[in-house]
Chain A
Amino acid sequence: DAKTTQPPSMDCAEGRAANLPCNHSTISGNEYVYWYRQIHSQGPQYIIHGLKNNETNEMASLIITEDRKSSTLILPHATLRDTAVYYCIVRVVGGNEKLTFGTGTRLTIIP
């Protein structure tokens, strides 16, 4: 699976949009981008995933660049409960089911 690079930490004001970047410049054509988050003392929680089109669900939006070498997770109206470590993961769907978690981005929502 391709390697991902994320900033170690970010702050965002409560109520504003949180934009979390991820670089995956070696991504292959059949690799999806997944986002998980881990709130303190809990297990990782799935947020969203996509291949090349932008995706939106009730939690977030995922914007993938046209060349697929980077993506941005958007939390449209951040709340204090969104404070967590966010992981960007690239993997082939239908291949090995292993998720390789990097160090992620520690997002802190500031009141």
Chain B
Amino acid sequence: DAGVIQSPRHEVTEMGQEVTLRCKPISGHDYLFWYRQTMMRGLELLIYFNNNVPIDDSGMPEDRFSAKMPNASFSTLKIQPSEPRDSAVYFCASKVGNQPQHFGDGTRLSIL
């Protein structure tokens, strides 16, 4: 079975550029989560959706970050404009009902 698929796996870009991270959740899952992992702050939740609707975006750092889920099989996390402090590994996870979350392998983002 296909797990959570994230793209790209690696992204290197210059500060000020727009960055778009993509996630395809596991088919049939009704929750989707975006996390960020850094050495300083560890693994922290940015936002999560239920049935394509954002439920908790309290972890989104600032207005430069936005997340969308236009349908049940696709979500994006966008950073505009990007800054060096946004460099991190970004994980997407999905789940169904009360089952545990399943994570993708992440996107390693470097902002120069």
Interface residues of A, Cβ cutoff 8 Å to B: 34, 38, 41-46, 49, 87, 93-94, 96-103
Contacts and interface: CB of A to CB of B under 8 A. Distances in A.
B105 interface: yes
A43 B98 contact: no
A87 B94 CA distance: 18
A46 B101 CA distance: 7
Contacts of B102: 46
Contacts of B21: none
Nearest to B4: A43
Nearest to A44: B103
B43 interface: yes
Interface of B: 4, 31, 33, 42-45, 48, 50, 55-56, 91, 93, 95, 98, 100-106
14 contacts: A38-B43, A42-B105, A43-B103, A44-B91, A44-B101, A46-B100, A49-B100, A94-B98, A96-B56, A97-B50, A98-B45, A99-B45, A99-B101, A100-B45
Contacts of B42: 101-103
Residue among B43, B44, B48, B93 with most chain A CB within 10 A: B43
Given A43-B91, A93-B98, A101 B43 contact: yes
Nearest to B93: A43
